[in-house]
Amino acid sequence: MRSSSLRLALVVAALAATSGACRASSTPTPLVAAVKPVVTTTTTAVPVPTTVSPLDGVPPPTKLAFGALATVPKVTVYDAPGSSTITTVMTNPTIEGVQLAMFADDREGDWVHVRLPMRPNGAAGWIRASDVRLAEMTTRIVVDISDRRLRVLDDTQAIVFDTAVAVGKPSTPTTLGRFFVDIWLPNPGRPYGTFMLSIGGFSDVLKNFAGGRGQLALHGWADQSVMGKNVSNGCVRMRNQDIAQVAKLAPPGTPIEIVA
């Protein structure tokens, strides 16, 4: 068995290549079952809006907001509750060596509807509730590309953190849409600063990046002069002290809206 220090080094190396991040340790809360089923029942991409009003007091566009943390080696995804049609199988741990985290936004009986950290953006499907532990999310992150700011809102829609960030340059723009934190990693190493929060979303331009899958992330950055500018390869760069603060508010499963 590898030592803990060696395992951490391997995880950091893998995440640096995939623009990823690590896992939550918070105690999950049971998901409320008495909800009306949503219409979406497939793993095809959910339409992603090009604009969202992030600060108008409207709750996140989901009936529920829960992190779904895998507890089994493989999570089988189906096209509908109770269906036998398998659309994909997610491995746990992930290719980065961390716990598989998804975002749950609905439940029907023993089935949970989840968004998946895979291409295409917006991929979703139904899984068995027994395959995951569920943790209620009480915050959400909104990244506004037009004013290059990141805000964290609580469950009353009040802004609890607000800061300038750097986003994608015109040739490699930051992808718009509704995503979630899928990996949570302190001290990812250069050049990613003091923290990295991997986003369950992918670049529309870079299908591969540094040997990885072109996955988006929020991460630290030493050069503070880039904040408020469009300069990145698609990730959201933050001051090291800022990403450390956001990490305290955003465990895996936290919803992220990237808007224009």
Among all residues, which ones are annotated catalytic? 219, 235
Pick from 118, 125, 221, 233: nearest CA to 179: 118
Pick from 163, 133, 148, 121: nearest CA to 249: 163
Structure tokens at 242: 């800022």
Amino acid 121 reads: N
Pick from 36, 247, 253: nearest CA to 133: 253
Q: 6 by DSSP, 3-state: which?
A: helix
- Contacts with 174 (C-beta within 8 Å, 6 or more apart), sequence order: 143, 145, 167, 168, 216, 232, 234, 235, 236, 258
Pick from 91, 100, 90: nearest CA to 23: 100
Whole-angstrom distance, CA of residue 193 vs CA of residue 221: 5
